[in-house]
Amino acid sequence: MHVLDNPIYHSLITGHLSFAKETGEVSYYQEDIAPFAGLKDNSKENFETLRKNSAPKSTFVVFTPVAYDLPKGWELATHIDMFQMVYEHKTAPTGDDEFENLNETHVDEMIELVKLTQPGPFKSKTIVLGNYTGVFREQKLVAMAGHRFNPKPYVEISAVCTHPDHLGNGYAYGLLREQIKRILDSAQIPFLHVRNDNVAAVKLYQKLGFGIRTEMIAYVLKKIG
């Protein structure tokens, strides 16, 4: 099995081991960083381990390349059909883009932008996953992108979003180009996930050089009891 077939689990046992809570074949991110859980094989036994060792009423996001039946003790909140895309080129697209590095002082603005644009989960300490960059206009954050999973040697680009009033200015393209460059400079490989019905985003990623590797499903599961 390729590491990207189970990117959350392999992230939590390699690049993000320091952010993980783990019990054998089950790992999940610290609650204030991210709601993702990685299970070695998404078995009923793995889900029962996650259920027993997590806090009451926890909600987790799990990824899988194939659909499976809902495990006992969990309620399906929603599911998201996605493409997993990988950047297989050796150099980043060229360009000279304006951006600023984001830090803890920007978290409130980042959370506000994520709530407005819904690119995916973002919590109070998600920023520790690293390399968040943004574009400001009139001292307001209007676009951003950063890193998320790190199943070595891959690094996921995530939280790519632009305020609706600032679409069409190329901010996402420039931020993505910088993210690609940083990942390649670290001798790793960029990848990302995107809703398969987000046609505009898929075209943008393909324009940058990403190719679709596989389909992926995100299940949002609520613990019962």
Which CA distances in Å does 141 have to 93, 110, 134, 225? 24, 7, 7, 39
* Structure confidence at residue 194 (pLDDT): 98
φ, ψ dihedrals at 98, nearest 5°: -90, 125
From residue 131, alpha-carbon distances to 28, 34, 62, 80, 198 in Å are 21, 16, 23, 26, 24
- Averaged pLDDT in 10-residue chunks for the chain of 225 residues: 96 96 91 97 94 94 95 95 97 91 98 97 96 97 98 98 96 97 98 97 97 98 91
pLDDT in tens, 7-54: 999 999 999 999 999 878 999 999 999 999 999 999 999 999 999 999
According to CATH, the topology of domain 85-214 is Aminopeptidase (3.40.630)
User: Cα dihedral sign for 116, 119, 123, 128?
Assistant: negative
For residue 80, the one-letter residue type is I
pLDDT of the residue at 44: 93
Q: How many CB atoms lie within 10 A of CB 44?
A: 12
Q: Which CATH superfamily is domain 3-81+218-223 in?
A: Gcn5-related N-acetyltransferase (GNAT) (3.40.630.30)
Domain boundaries, the chain: 3-81+218-223, 85-214
